[in-house]
Amino acid sequence: MEHQLFQEIALVIMCKKVYAELGLYHRERTYQNALEYELIKTGHKTIKEYPLKIWYDNQVMNTYYIDIVIKGLPIEIKTIKNMGTSERYQIINYMKNIDSNTGYLINFGHHELEVIRLEDILGEIVETELIEPLIS
């Protein structure tokens, strides 16, 4: 648990660094590349654009691409004014399909950086907004 908290704080710090350097109004791919660069620079192994195939009746119906996967944790990056239910369902779907209990939703498109952790605890999705006090 302590190791996970340390990694989570590191992720928030990296997101804040990217946000401070780039500011607003870039495309998702720009923030994705910058965050992946920071993760790799600090020794993390990442998979960018992780392909997630959706199967039905032994046929691939669609392939989604998770922005970044690090140690089995999906990270979805957004650049929108307000994150809603559909963005949360997207990361929950990713978590379910790669068998992860935790996922991160990061929004660089708001006037304040948003980093949200979603966690499946005994079938219940718990959402935690990771806020300033973690790194002050």
Express each pLDDT in 82-119 by its tens digit.
899 999 999 999 999 999 999 999 999 988 899 999 99
Higher pLDDT, 35 or 133: 35
* pLDDT score of 65 more than 80: yes
Print burial letters for 5-14: b (CB count within 10 Å at least 16), e (below 16).
eeebeebbeb
pLDDT-based confidence at 136, cuts 50/70/90?
very low
Q: C-alpha angle with apex 104: 100 to 110, nearest 5 degrees?
A: 160
pLDDT-based confidence at 129, cuts 50/70/90?
confident
Which residue is associated with the tokens 């660089």? 108
Q: Find the range with the poorest average confidence among 13-22, 62-71, 122-131.
A: 122-131
Separation CA 76–CA 106 (nearest Å) = 6
Separation CA 132–CA 39 (nearest Å) = 20
Q: Which CATH number fits domain 2-131: 1.10.1790, 3.40.1350, 3.40.50, 3.30.720?
A: 3.40.1350
* pLDDT score of 132 more than 70: no
**Two tokens at 90?**
């997207």
**Which sequence spans correspond to the domains of the chain?**
2-131
- Rg of the Cα trace of the chain? 15
What's at 33, amino acid-wise?
A: N
Q: What is the dihedral of CA 25, 27, 30, 34, to 10 degrees?
A: 60
